[in-house]
């Protein structure tokens, strides 16, 4: 086998292994984002008084929803509606995705 063909095969194998590793990292990151979303949902749901702390928890949840949606899109999963429904993300959080957290509810 000529050296150029051997080099091409090695390069193809390297690219395939690299693609596999990237896919594994994306899937792992999606799993971590999902766990963080679940934790934010739990904290938000456990606080039912309408006060400043609830607003902070809501904005924390919004940030987790946004990160989760972005990671899903990075994995090629474009439609997140069914996932947000599965997790039971409240509409008030979904409506704020992409908005800036107000200064009075900063961390």
pLDDT tens-digit readout, 55-75: 999 999 999 999 999 999 999
CA 48/CA 69 separation, integer angstroms: 25
Q: Contact, 71 vs 35, CB < 8 A? A: no
* Residues found in the chain: 107
Q: pTM of the prediction?
A: 0.84
Q: Across residues 81-87, what is the average pLDDT?
A: 97
Encode pLDDT of 5-43 as tens digits: 776 777 888 888 888 999 999 999 999 999 999 999 999
Q: Which pLDDT value is given to residue 36?
A: 98
Q: Contact, 45 vs 31, CB < 8 A? A: no
Q: Percentage of the chain with pLDDT > 90? A: 71
CA 102/CA 107 separation, integer angstroms: 10
Neighbours of 2 (CB within 10 A): 7
DSSP code for 37: H
């Amino acid at each position: 086998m000529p050296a150029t063909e051997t080099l091409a095969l090695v390069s193809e194998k390297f690219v395939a292994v690299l693609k596999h590793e990237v896919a594994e990292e994306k899937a792992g990151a999606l799993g971590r984002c999902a766990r963080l979303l679940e934790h934010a949902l739990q904290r938000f749901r456990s606080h039912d008084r309408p006060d400043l702390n609830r607003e902070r928890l809501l904005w924390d949840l919004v940030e987790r929803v946004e990160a989760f949606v972005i990671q899903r899109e990075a994995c090629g999963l474009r439609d997140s509606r069914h996932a947000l429904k599965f997790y039971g993300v409240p509409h008030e959080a979904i409506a704020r995705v992409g908005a800036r957290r107000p200064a009075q509810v900063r961390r």
